[in-house]
Amino acid sequence: GQQLNQSPQSMFIQEGEDVSMNCTSSSIFNTWLWYKQDPGEGPVLLIALYKAGELTSNGRLTAQFGITRKDSFLNISASIPSDVGIYFCAGHGNAGNMLTFGGGTRLMVKP
Amino acid sequence: EAGVAQSPRYKIIEKRQSVAFWCNPISGHATLYWYQQILGQGPKLLIQFQNNGVVDDSQLPKDRFSAERLKGVDSTLKIQPAKLEDSAVYLCASSPWTRGDTQYFGPGTRLTVL
């Protein structure tokens, strides 16, 4: 089945620093999604990417859909304490409406 | 616009007992999904409904898990009997008819099986 490799698994950074995380896949996806999950809550959609090469921003967040359609990255600029949480990438392919999730990147921000 | 609602938020049961979870999707969303999220992992799809029909239940352990969406709106997920390894967060998500790739999640139900 399809698998997504997400890295890094965890990051501990200083407030104000920029953050970068990425996902790679062995299969092509038609859509890439980035979610943030806070403890005890469900994932919240941050950014959705629908075309290869697409670069989309949402405030301090920027994500790109890789040209090969097998990867995506998420950047967070000028991190703040409320950025703490687990970030998941998810890919949507041709097989029905199934989303395949990466293993998550746990972000910790030191004030 | 109200989001995806789930209840209960937490449930603790003993192994071999039964448990049921409820989900109310975003109004107008035709597609509803149930995911299982084990601690430290990403969500894994259990079952997908389109209106009241099952689209994909290939990863649902059918010997103990069942789900229904009788009127094409609310859905229930049941586990009978529960095993220790069923301890996880059960997430419900929904998406519009035309954008199945954009799914919105509820807060989840955290199940602990003792």
| Per-chain mean pLDDT for chain B | 92
In three-state secondary structure terms, A100 is strand
Burial class (CB in 10 A: 0-12, 13-18, 19+), B53: exposed
Mean per-residue pLDDT, A2-27: 93
- Examine the pLDDT at B80 and tell me if it is beyond 80: yes
Distance CA A29, CA A26 (A): 10
Q: Is A98 close to B56, i.e. CB distance below 8 A?
A: yes
pLDDT at B2 (0 to 100): 82
Q: Is A31 close to B4, i.e. CB distance below 8 A?
A: no
- Examine the pLDDT at B70 and tell me if it is beyond 90: no
Helices (H) and strands (E) counted in chain A, each on its own, are 0, 11
Q: DSSP letter at A17?
A: -
pLDDT at A13 (0 to 100): 95
Confidence of residue B101 (pLDDT cuts 50, 70, 90): confident
Residue pair A30/B101 in contact by the 8 Å Cβ criterion: yes
Sign of CA dihedral B48, B52, B54, B57: positive
Contacts of B44 in chain A (CB under 8 A): 101
Contacts of B6 in chain A (CB under 8 A): 42
Q: Is A50 close to B56, i.e. CB distance below 8 A?
A: no
Q: Is B104 close to A45, i.e. CB distance below 8 A?
A: yes
